[in-house]
Structure formats: C-alpha cells, structure tokens
Structure 1
C-alpha cells in the first residue's frame, strides 16, 4: 500500500495532455530534466593568462601540494564517521550506519578503496552510481516540475567528496570574494 502511494501513475506534459502509460511518464521526466540540466557540451579552451588579472587568488604551489596530498587513514575514517547515520543510503543499499557498525570488519578494505581512488583517480562504476528520488513539492503533483529530485549517492562516494571538500576549505576563503560568498556556508569558508 505504501509503495503504491509513492508511485507516479499519471503526469501532465507541457501541452496539458495527461500521460498514464509508464513509458510515457518516464520519457516525460527524462525529457524535462534533460532540457533543464542538459545542454551542448563545449570544448573551448581558455587561456588562463587572460583570466589572471581578474582572479582574486591563484592557488600557490604549496597550496596545490596540500590539495593533492594522499589522505591519511585517520582522515578517511574521520570522513566516514562524520556522515550522519540517518542519511539516505545509495543504490548499494548501505548507509553510513552500516559502515560504522561494521568498521572493525570492513574498515581496512574501504579505506584501501578510498585511497586507491586518490592514487589512481579511478572509481568503480558501482561506487559512482547515483539513484534519483523524486519528492513531491505539492500535495497532489500533476507536473514534472511539481517534484524535487534528490540524489542518493553511495557512502564511499560521499566520503571521497567529503575529503575533497575538506581540502578545498584550505583555499576557498582566499578564492571567493566577500561579495560572492552568499551561497557558500560559513563553515566552508573557514
């Protein structure tokens, strides 16, 4: 009963036509988000010499070394244990609570996997998979725009992201001018 109440049985398209076939509904969602988020990819190269005069801060060689330094075992473990246990699990079905509870058994292996990413720059496709969930913005959603998409990532992906964000904190304050930091949480600015 609960699962059925979470399904989208019909949706109206831009022309106002009500779609009830599963494939039509799926196509409408895909089309909407491709149009909203998609676009043509450009392969233009910008000569950074032209941008430097407007840059508030250029990352120094010392800062670069700090940014690309291999994470420590403690840094990886701290990132795992810093993720709230009640966060939604990703496509693999494991939450951070699982990793924390099973740490004595699996900790060494997951740390190795994270460190391998930072060494090789490669990530298993299964780890990089994200599941999208559609949350209704209104009581009775009728249009695709009445839904808010949220992405549910695997915990390993969240840990990698958390480590990268922690590294970027070192230079973020210097790179973003005070007039541009309205949407950057104060915690990230240091």
Structure 2
C-alpha cells in the first residue's frame, strides 16, 4: 500500500524530472496532464526501473516515431529515434533516482530498454500499488506518454521536499 503523501511525492518527483530531463533545451516547456491508465501515447515504450528494499518503480516513456518527435530528439542526425530517446529517458529516471536517494538509501536503477507500447496493457499483472499515466507535450509540438507503476513489499508513505535548482543534477555518472 502506498500512502497519499508518497503518491503525491512520486508524482512531483516524476514531473520535476520530466520537465528538466526530457527537453532538449531548458527553455522548452513540458506540459503534463493525467491520462487514462490504459492509454499509450506512441508505438514504442522505453522502460526504466528504480528498485529498493521497499518498492519497485517502473517508468515507461511512450514515444511516437513521427516527424515532430524525430525533429526534436534527432534534429538533422540520422538514427533510430528509440535509441536517441533512451538517453533522455535515462536522464529523467536518473534525476528521479537522485531525489529518491534522500529518502531511500538502497536504490538501484536499470539501464533503459525499448519495448512495444502494448506492454502497458500487462502492467496490471504485476498487481501494482500505484499505476498512473500522463500525457506530456514538449515545446507545444512533441507528444509523449509516461506511465508510473509502483509495487511495494510493505506499506510506504513519505513526503518529498520541494525540488530546488540546487538539487537538480547535471547528469554526472554515479558508480555503485
């Protein structure tokens, strides 16, 4: 069971990470709205996990391989959109991980991997304690989806402080 304060804290941590790490320029806006839990905003999903002794957090970022998304994340470069986007997903998850380390010192984070977005329909099989999807619009043109799925092994509740500029990381490498 995840308490209401922890639910709010996980959501705020995700929003702060998305707004700073899923954009290619800090001046670009990232608007976030709730979406139906079974919606998938794109044909590809990038899956990242953060695990602790108390919980397992899965973050699925959904992308469409369309012209606006390719232009935003690839620019003029040739390449596979999912591969380029995995770096942004990794930065987003890393920012979440860094903030969560203040409350859970035993965290581990996976490397990102790409899945078909249809996997979203199977998240309920994990019997999550928290499952919520969001629609993200970046710079007014790029549409992404994000799904936060959290499974716990014991009751969990905490209050995350407000993020400040000083707490935001520049993406340095952490060794475990």
TM-score norm. by structure 1 comes to: 0.23
More strand by share: 2
- Which has the larger share of helix? 1
Say which one has the larger Rg: 1
